[in-house]
């Protein structure tokens, strides 16, 4: 490194939040099952880590109930929502009220870990908790993918600039769809 950058201050949190809100991400519902009950939350901080071994990461706020239940269960499921599942995203984000049964919307099953998996999702990744990392208010959960499924041709629900978004589909001269944001 040519320069010592350790003295550079970080941007104020409000400036960061305003800028990162422009980042478009897929919308996911992270679920787990613990002691016979189901828990879940909406998240956009999800990313692939490696394909060999299959591993992904999810950033989960430590203050939520689902956070502790994922750690206790040692497993979680990443349900990548399809465009028509915005209502499910809102319920799992808490917009249905604190007492709402989040699993009343959608059809649910289980895969290898026993965590709830959403039928009709664009993709589902069933994960065994492999590692955790701590970052301020969030825990980074690294999951080894033990089962996965996807719905071929399903368009993923997106979130950016503080609203849900969809892929814009454009057709080329041969009538083949070309996807653009």
Give the tens place of pLDDT for each residue, 30-56: 999 999 999 999 999 999 999 999 999
The domain made up of 26-156 has a fold known as Pnp Oxidase; Chain A (2.30.110)
Model pLDDT, residue 100: 82
Give the pLDDT of residue 158.
94
Q: Return the domain boundaries, the chain.
A: 26-156
Q: Which residues of the chain have pLDDT under 70?
A: 1, 170-181
What integer pLDDT is reported at residue 119 of this predicted model? 97
pLDDT number for residue 180: 52
Residue 135 backbone dihedrals phi, psi, to 5 degrees: -140, 95
Nearest residue to 58 (alpha-carbon basis) of 26, 36, 88, 89: 26
What per-residue confidence (pLDDT) applies to 115? 98
Question: Model's pTM, two decimal places?
Answer: 0.89
């Amino acid at each position: 490194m040519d320069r010592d950058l350790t003295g550079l201050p970080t941007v104020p949190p409000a400036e960061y939040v305003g800028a990162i809100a422009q980042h478009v991400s897929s919308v996911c519902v992270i679920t787990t099952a613990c002691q016979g009950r189901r828990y879940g939350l909406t998240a956009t901080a999800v990313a692939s880590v490696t394909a060999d071994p299959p591993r992904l990461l999810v950033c989960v706020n430590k203050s939520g109930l689902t956070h502790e239940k994922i750690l206790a269960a040692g497993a979680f499921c990443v349900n990548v929502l399809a465009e028509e599942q915005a209502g499910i995203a809102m319920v799992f984000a808490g917009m249905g009220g604190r007492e709402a049964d989040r699993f009343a919307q959608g059809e649910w099953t289980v895969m290898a870990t026993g965590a709830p998996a959403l039928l009709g999702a664009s993709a589902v990744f069933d994960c065994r908790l492999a590692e955790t990392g701590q970052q301020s208010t969030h825990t980074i959960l690294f999951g080894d993918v033990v089962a996965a499924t996807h719905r071929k041709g399903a368009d993923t629900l997106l979130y950016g600039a503080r609203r849900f978004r969809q892929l814009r589909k454009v057709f080329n001269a041969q009538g083949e769809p070309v996807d653009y944001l």
